[in-house]
């Protein structure tokens, strides 16, 4: 999924406004709203329906959420609606999560294995990464039997592939490039 630059701008503005002492309650509200938008089709349809005016949407948001959610997040959401950017709220909130992780020194790493990782192995990998990177690691295990064995670690755009499938592919490539036996046959 391509993140729109405007989503990043809005997310950065919200995180910057939250500052360190207010970041936790803001992120709780962001997570709640992100889940609501993702899972409640009626709420999402209400926000994104063009025939419902921005003033009506802002009034409804205020009536339902004022006093229940952090005021900064609610005011922010009303601003996004007023600017007709509500279709970007999912992206904005996802970007907020990424910016929050960076602010608190947390890295999300995906570990792909052929079988589920045992708790001890998962803790060991996370501890090793924490030691090497100096950041808190949140390790998510994805199971994909087609890799046959080994481990693939993915963080952002970085990938470390030590799977059996990748190793076999590399071996096959070297064998095909070398053409075994060709060095024994010489033509005159």
Q: Is the pLDDT of residue 173 over 60?
A: yes
pLDDT score, position 182: 57
Which tokens is 177 given? 């490039």
Per-residue confidence (pLDDT) for residue 1, from 0 to 100:
53
pLDDT score at 140: 93
153 contacts 108 by C-beta, under 8 angstroms: no
**Which pLDDT score, from 0 to 100, does residue 26 have?**
94
Q: Token pair for residue 111?
A: 């570990």
Tokens of 40: 């409640």
CA distance 67 to 117: 43
Higher local confidence (pLDDT), 187 or 165 = 165
Give me the pLDDT at residue 156, please.
80
Break the chain into its structural domains and give their ranges. 5-102, 105-178
d(CA 153, CA 148): 15
**Residue count (the chain):** 188
Say whether pLDDT at 180 is over 80: no
What's the whole-number mean pLDDT along residues 112-138? 93
Cβ pair 150, 167 in contact under 8 A: yes
pLDDT in tens, 61-107: 999 999 999 999 999 999 999 999 999 999 999 999 989 998 888 99
Q: What is the pLDDT of residue 112?
A: 95
**Distance (Å, whole) CA 32 – CA 26:** 10
Contact 95, 7 (CB under 8 A): yes
pLDDT at 104: 87
Alpha helices, DSSP H, located in the chain: 5-39, 41-48, 54-65, 71-82, 89-104, 119-133, 164-178
Predicted structure pTM score: 0.69
Per-residue tokens: 140: 């998510």
Q: What are phi and psi of 62, to 5 degrees?
A: -65, -45
Residue 43 has pLDDT above 80, yes or no: yes
CATH class of 5-102: mainly alpha
**Window from 22-26, 71-75, 176-180 with minimum mean pLDDT:** 176-180
Q: Give all strands of the β-sheet with 136-143 in edge-to-edge order.
A: 136-143, 106-113, 150-155, 158-163
pLDDT over 90 (residue 151): yes
pLDDT exceeds cutoff 90 at 60: yes
């Amino acid at each position: 999924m391509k993140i729109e630059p405007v989503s990043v701008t809005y997310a950065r503005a919200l995180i910057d406004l939250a500052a360190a002492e207010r970041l936790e309650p803001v992120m709780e509200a962001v997570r709640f709203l992100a889940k609501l938008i993702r899972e409640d089709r009626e709420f999402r349809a209400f926000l994104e329906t063009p025939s419902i005016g921005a003033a009506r949407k802002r009034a409804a948001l205020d009536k339902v959420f004022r006093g229940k959610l952090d005021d900064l997040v609610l005011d922010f959401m009303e601003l996004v609606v007023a600017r007709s950017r509500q279709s970007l709220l999912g992206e904005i909130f996802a970007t907020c999560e990424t910016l929050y992780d960076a602010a608190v020194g947390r890295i999300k790493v995906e570990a792909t294995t052929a079988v589920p990782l045992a708790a001890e192995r998962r803790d060991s990998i996370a501890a090793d990464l924490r030691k090497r990177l100096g950041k808190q690691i949140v390790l998510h295990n994805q199971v994909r039997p087609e890799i046959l064995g080994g481990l693939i670690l993915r963080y952002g755009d970085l990938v470390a592939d030590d799977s059996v499938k990748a190793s076999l592919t590399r071996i096959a490539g070297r064998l095909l490039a070398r053409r075994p036996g060709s060095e024994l046959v010489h033509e005159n």
